[in-house]
């Protein structure tokens, strides 16, 4: 049973960018949609000119807790998520301790419930300690209160093909998915950036596209061989898009994600030696960016995943070679996707709902997320001012990370409101109050 979260009437929003309509939210669900709905008793939200979309679902977030609370906490990371338009995030397993047991995933799940800003769905590690040597207790994590369905050693590639095969076989028992960080380790030893013209000029060790593509090629064949489900994290090269397109044409059960930064930025930025542009996988070339956009538009790439990776300043404000890899992304993803995909005419707002919400919920098997904006559905809804333009100022963000590669850029689109289970976590573009999970403790 859901907590009583009140009654709200969203007045005149453009549903998925289409015709204006009203949406009545009552006790956590969409009670009614239509025009001219009666507002008796409801808190009315004037949404004229705003787009209503399903709450976004991130398949790839680093919340850093437990263990790196100097970088981010579940509280700060999920505040950032709510402000960015998310109602669910998958929390990656590379915490300290690693999320490789039922105990740790339940801890992360409980922290998410206590925070109340979004659904926090822990990702379980594939191997014990992310060490790539023995399988973690995947079944125990799946059966735990956290109901883990996605497993990943993200940050590190599961490079042993026997372990990868066994993981793919094991997760079939509970309809799970293995999310691979595709990076052949021997081909990328000591790499600092994309291998190409810019790395040659700068004299930095490069990270060749083939290091990503060779693992994806291997893994789609393994997934086909054992009849399991594979997800490819943060696809970054044109060649990777081609391999995934080929695999899907053959009916292989593979899904893939692209990050906002790989849809917009290129390795030319590394010429600045500003470590805010250091990331894994690295920023690639303009040809790769164009191929990723085309892949997302034609469905080869299923979802946008942020790979939100906050770091404390001392790990980023140092020389390039020493700097940590990663970028923040939760509070800029919507704007970057609007800028790169919608304003270029590549996708519609309905497509946006698919690649940021519905497809992501399906990959993670989140039944209450990514649903249509229809009566009877859970009220996970955001309202977006697509005409707004704003300048990215990392110091003003809710994430503790200041490492946004979009700093100083003017981007379109602002989240005005986020409804999580019928409760407004964000109103007027500002944090409101979290969903009161405590009210439903003990209920299903």
Q: Can you say whether the dihedral through the CA atoms of 225, 226, 227, 230 is positive or negative?
A: negative
Q: How far is the CB of 257 from Zn ion (least distance, A)?
A: 10
- Of the two residues 67 and 227, which places its CB atom closer to Zn ion in the complex? 67
- Of the two residues 233 and 276, which places its CB atom closer to Zn ion in the complex? 233
- Considering only 58, 65, 154, 385, the residue that binds Zn ion (CB under 5 A) is 154
Among the candidate windows 1-9, 149-157, 241-249, 409-417, which touches Zn ion by CB under 5 A?
Answer: 149-157
- Of the two residues 26 and 181, which places its CB atom closer to Zn ion in the complex? 181
- Of the two residues 279 and 381, which places its CB atom closer to Zn ion in the complex? 279
Nearest to 373 by CA among 38, 50, 44, 137: 50
Count of residues binding Zn ion (CB under 5 A)?
3
> Is there binding between residue 181 and Zn ion (CB under 5 A)?
yes
Contact string (CB under 5 A) for Zn ion, positions 304-343, x = contact: ----------------------------------------
Q: Give the pairing of strands 254-258 and 303-304.
A: parallel
213: three-class secondary structure by DSSP: helix
Q: How far is the CB of 130 from Zn ion (least distance, A)?
A: 11
- Of the two residues 33 and 152, which places its CB atom closer to Zn ion in the complex? 152
Q: How far is the CB of 145 from Zn ion (least distance, A)?
A: 26
* CA pair distance 376, 352, nearest whole angstrom: 22
Nearest to 398 by CA among 85, 101, 160: 85
Active site residue 307: yes
Q: How far is the CB of 39 from Zn ion (least distance, A)?
A: 46
C-alpha neighbours within 13 Å on the C-beta side of residue 180: 33
The continuous run of DSSP H or E covering 303 comes out as strand 303-304
> Is there binding between residue 257 and Zn ion (CB under 5 A)?
no
Q: How far is the CB of 239 from Zn ion (least distance, A)?
A: 18
> Is there binding between residue 423 and Zn ion (CB under 5 A)?
no
- Of the two residues 9 and 92, which places its CB atom closer to Zn ion in the complex? 92
Q: How far is the CB of 308 from Zn ion (least distance, A)?
A: 11
Q: How far is the CB of 274 from Zn ion (least distance, A)?
A: 21
354: three-class secondary structure by DSSP: helix
Placement of tokens 């989240």 in the chain = 415
Catalytic pick from 58, 119, 153, 307? 307
440: three-class secondary structure by DSSP: helix
Helix H segments across 284-416? 286-297, 333-337, 349-353, 359-364
Which long-range contacts link 313-318 to residues 24+ away (Cβ below 8 Å)?
A: 313/402, 315/71, 316/275, 316/276, 316/402, 316/403, 317/275, 318/275
Residue 373's Cβ-count burial label (10 Å; 0-12, 13-18, 19+) is: buried
- Of the two residues 309 and 361, which places its CB atom closer to Zn ion in the complex? 309
Hey, how many other C-beta atoms are within 10 angstroms of the C-beta on 166? 17
Angular region, 73: left φ>0, alpha ψ -120 to 50, beta rest: beta
Binding site for Zn ion (CB under 5 A): 154, 181, 233
Residues assigned a catalytic role: 307
């Amino acid at each position: 049973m859901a907590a009583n979260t009140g009654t709200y009437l969203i007045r005149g929003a453009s549903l998925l960018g289409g015709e204006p309509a009203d949406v009545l939210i009552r006790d956590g669900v969409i009670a009614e949609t239509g025009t001219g709905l009666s507002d008796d008793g409801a808190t009315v939200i004037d949404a004229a000119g705003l787009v209503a979309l399903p709450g976004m679902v991130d398949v790839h977030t680093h919340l850093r807790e437990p263990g790196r609370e100097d970088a981010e906490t579940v509280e700060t990371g999920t505040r950032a998520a709510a402000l960015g338009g998310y109602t669910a995030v998958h929390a990656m397993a590379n915490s300290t301790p690693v999320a490789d047991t039922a105990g740790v995933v339940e801890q992360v799940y409980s922290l998410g419930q206590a925070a109340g800003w979004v659904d926090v769905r822990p990702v379980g590690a594939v191997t014990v300690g992310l060490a790539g040597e023995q399988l973690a207790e995947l079944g125990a994590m799946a059966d735990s209160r956290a109901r883990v369905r996605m497993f990943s050693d993200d940050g590190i590639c599961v490079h042993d093909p026997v372990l990868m095969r066994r993981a793919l076989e094991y997760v079939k028992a509970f309809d799970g998915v293995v999310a691979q960080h595709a990076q052949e380790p021997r081909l990328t030893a000591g790499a600092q950036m994309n291998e190409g013209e810019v790395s040659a000029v700068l004299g930095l060790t490069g990270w060749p596209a083939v290091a990503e593509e060779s693992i994806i090629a291997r893994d789609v064949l393994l997934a086909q061989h054992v009849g399991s489900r594979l997800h490819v994290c943060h696809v970054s090269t044109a060649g990777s898009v081609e391999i995934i397109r080929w695999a899907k044409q053959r009916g292989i059960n593979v899904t893939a994600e692209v990050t906002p930064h790989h849809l917009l930025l290129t390795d030319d930025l590394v010429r600045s030696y500003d470590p805010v542009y250091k990331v894994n996988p690295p920023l690639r070339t303009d040809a790769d960016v164009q191929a990723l956009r085309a892949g997302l538009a034609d469905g080869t790439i299923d979802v946008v995943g942020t790979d939100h990776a906050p770091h404390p300043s001392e790990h980023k404000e140092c020389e390039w070679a020493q700097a940590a890899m990663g970028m923040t992304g939760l509070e800029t993803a919507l704007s970057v996707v609007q800028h790169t995909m919608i304003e270029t005419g590549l996708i519609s707002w309905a497509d946006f709902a698919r690649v940021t919400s519905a497809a992501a919920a399906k990959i993670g098997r989140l039944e209450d997320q990514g649903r249509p904006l229809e009566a009877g559905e859970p009220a996970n809804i955001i309202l977006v001012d697509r005409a707004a333009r704003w300048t990215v100022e990392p110091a003003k963000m809710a994430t503790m990370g200041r490492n946004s590669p979009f700093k100083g850029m003017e981007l379109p689109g602002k989240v005005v409101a986020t409804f999580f289970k019928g409760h407004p976590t964000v109103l007027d573009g500002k944090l409101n109050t979290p969903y009161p999970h405590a009210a439903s403790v003990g209920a299903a």
